[in-house]
Structure 1
Amino acid sequence: MIWAYPDVRLTLLLAGIFCLLYFIYLSRYWAINRRLKVEKRRLFTKIVIRTCYFILFLIAFAGPSIGTAMKEIQEEGKDIFIAVDLSQSMNASDIGPSRLQRIKFELKNLTKSFPSDRIGLIIFSSEAFLQCPLTFDQSVLQLYIDGLNTGLVPNFGTDLNAPLRLALERFESDESQEIKSKSIILISDGENFGDELDNIGASLNDLGVKVFSLGIGTESGSSIPRGNGLVIDPQTGRPAQTVLDPAPLQQIAAETNGQYFEISDQVQEAGNLIGALERLEGGVTGSRVVEASANKYFYFLLAGLILSLLDMILPIKTIKL
């Protein structure tokens, strides 16, 4: 028999407390009824019943497991690249305190949900750069997320192709022999000034890479702060406005059998993104055989409860008048 909680000291302590309290109870009972005729046989029966169900409770508390079996456990893993748009439009405050600050908050929660998977970080605007390669190190990843700002990349518009091609190259050049599921989280307001996404979508799909896109912003949009002023549209001479454009993000998600999610004034779907990634079947990286046993505490607990209920419902008379 295997015990899930083999704490002998605690078991003996509980048994000692029971014996002490029950001895005090019997002493007081005997003192009160010393002048009455007491049926010792019935009193002894009462002691036996209560002792039995207390012992059964102690056994159930220790978690007995009877019998063993060999069980194969498969180890699964995922490789996830997070691509974050750091164009000037991510400083817009239509999603408070700003689009980028909100994304940094959500990314910290997201990465903590996948401690056993490799996660990498790509930053982009008109160009894309590998900020953090695929890693299991959560603390390093958190430091890179804390440091995200729009000054890290050149800002000449947003090209959604750039981070997707960089992630694809990294997946193709990965020397790991383990078979893992591969996915990209593409985070942007969706304003794409680069090439069409058809070609990169087909390439990602051929490699089995799913893109889960997360759009952030509102349809009404916002002006874009820069320093102490605003970004000015050179064509109109007025403050430039940035709005959420979900179309390209929805397109690349659909082409790679991924999903599109959104953070806006209408919906807050960061939690749904985490749920979709958790449901994503990871590749089998290995397996191991372990010895498993079934915990049978319930049977002892049930027997103890039955005896205790009988003790309460059908009391044994110990005093004969």
Structure 2
Amino acid sequence: MLRFAHIDILWGLLAIPVFLFLFWEVSRWKRKAIKKLGDRHVVKEMMPDVSFSRPWLKFILFALAYSLCIIGAADPQIGSKVEEVKRKGADLMILLDVSNSMLAQDLAPSRLENAKRAVSQLIDNLHSDRIGLIVFAGQAYVQLPMTTDYSAAKLFLSTVNTNMVPTQGTAIGAAIDLGMRSFDFKNGTGKAMIIITDGENHEDDAVAAAKNATDKDVSIHVIGVGSVAGAPIPYYQDGKQMGFRMEEDGKTQVLSKLSEDMCKEIAAAGNGSYVRATNANSGLNLVMDQIGKIQRKTVDSKNFKDFEDRFQFFLGCALLLLVIEFFISNRKSQRLSNLKLFEVKNT
């Protein structure tokens, strides 16, 4: 298996067409200058020691050396050892509430940012499990399909915000149903969902959806974010907080409260656990202890364990070509010029 340790450096190869264009323009300018002096063949006879082909040879050597330098700097590596690794994994789907109520700041810096930080820490602790991400408000969308690419998972997580779902609300049941459709039940691995929400479900029957999930051996765990006392919901304009959302009377702030009863009902129906998040503890560790008990299927995979650098070969060849190019003169060799293999001698 071949790979490059610094693959971005290969973009430097795009400079070769630029070099070729510049060299061609300089060569054309020289030809025009010679043409102004007179007939091209006569000018060549007047400059017998000047070679018109060697500059091209020197340029070709330079271009090859430059290409080899770029490839060498990218550090090509060859996988030298293949090892069959047995790993055990499960499927874990995160259902993240992105309704406007998640902007409440009873958890610092906000419910949503607190939840995203906790999920990011969870991803850092995963090894062989697959993870997916669903965001929901009034509707649910798959933000990240099931994957073991944890770097991609953190990238997609960083883009989550309350503006990504156009319909406001909290459709937990729809998110559970979408999560069930996103699982691959043919692979035989254990499956679980983690719902992170303030529990203000107004759209559907989340408890019924959780019961349907348990029929397929999918456990559902709930992490409640927010406070029972509630907190006002801020609104933003151009990234700046402009105030808090108000009731229709324009005098009373809209308070968003954590609905613990709803969260507990969903967790109980989903044969899972409920944990309330705080500023000091996200609750994910307790949930993951429960998820750790689910079945993990053994999967065989082949990994290239060791990679050996091969940049030395490319840099060595580049250095050799540059040395050769350096010693090639633009003037003709007198010995080669005097060597006339095809000249017919008169007898």
TM range (shorter): 0.5 to 0.7
Unaligned runs of 5+ in 1: 1-72, 289-321
Aligned partner of 2:120 among 90, 97, 108: 108
In the alignment, is residue 178 of structure 1 matched against residue 191 of structure 2? Answer: no
Note the alpha carbon deviations across 1:173-206, whole angstroms, 9 max, x for none.
x2x7421001101000011102223421221011
Q: Which residue of 2 aligns with 1:252?
A: 266
Counterpart residue type for residue 284 of structure 2:
A
Note the alpha carbon deviations across 1:114-136, whole angstroms, 9 max, x for none.
22111000000000000000000
Counterpart residue type for residue 85 of structure 1:
D
> Is the CA contact 1:125–1:159 (under 8 Å) kept in the aligned structure 2?
yes
| Distance in structure 2 (CA, Å) of the matches to 1:144 and 1:266 | 25
| Distance in structure 2 (CA, Å) of the matches to 1:237 and 1:139 | 45
Unaligned runs of 5+ in 2: 1-84, 237-241, 302-347
CA RMSD of aligned residues (A): 2.2
The number of aligned residues is 212
Counterpart residue type for residue 134 of structure 2:
I
Partner of 1:190, secondary structure, is coil
> Is the CA contact 1:262–1:270 (under 8 Å) kept in the aligned structure 2?
no
Counterpart residue type for residue 202 of structure 1:
K
TM-score (norm 2): 0.57
Note the alpha carbon deviations across 1:16-42, whole angstroms, 9 max, x for none.
xxxxxxxxxxxxxxxxxxxxxxxxxxx
The 1:118–1:230 alpha-carbon spacing in structure 2 relative to 1, beyond 3 Å, is: same
Aligned-pair CA distance for 1:169: 1.4
In the alignment, is residue 166 of structure 1 matched against residue 178 of structure 2? Answer: yes
In the alignment, is residue 152 of structure 1 matched against residue 164 of structure 2? Answer: yes
4+ residue segments displaced more than 3 Å: 264-268, 285-288
In the alignment, is residue 206 of structure 1 matched against residue 218 of structure 2? Answer: no
In the alignment, is residue 273 of structure 1 matched against residue 287 of structure 2? Answer: yes
The aligned runs of 1:58-207 (5 Å cut-off) are 75-171=87-183, 174=184, 177-207=186-216
> Is the CA contact 2:191–2:294 (under 8 Å) kept in the aligned structure 1?
no
Aligned partner of 2:227 among 211, 218, 227: 218
> Is the CA contact 2:173–2:210 (under 8 Å) kept in the aligned structure 1?
no
> Is the CA contact 2:89–2:299 (under 8 Å) kept in the aligned structure 1?
no
Aligned partner of 1:240 among 247, 254, 258: 254
Q: Report the identity percentage.
A: 30
Aligned-pair CA distance for 1:221: 1.3
Aligned-pair CA distance for 1:82: 0.3
TM-score (norm 1): 0.62
Aligned-pair CA distance for 1:253: 1.2
| Distance in structure 1 (CA, Å) of the matches to 2:95 and 2:162 | 14
Partner of 1:168, secondary structure, is helix
> Is the CA contact 1:76–1:282 (under 8 Å) kept in the aligned structure 2?
no
Moved more, 216-225 or 190-199: 190-199
> Is the CA contact 1:125–1:156 (under 8 Å) kept in the aligned structure 2?
yes
Partner of 1:82, secondary structure, is strand
The 1:286–1:101 alpha-carbon spacing in structure 2 relative to 1, beyond 3 Å, is: closer
Partner of 1:248, secondary structure, is helix
> Is the CA contact 2:180–2:213 (under 8 Å) kept in the aligned structure 1?
yes
| Distance in structure 2 (CA, Å) of the matches to 1:185 and 1:252 | 11
The 1:140–1:265 alpha-carbon spacing in structure 2 relative to 1, beyond 3 Å, is: closer
Note the alpha carbon deviations across 1:236-283, whole angstroms, 9 max, x for none.
752100111111221121112111111136965232123222x22333
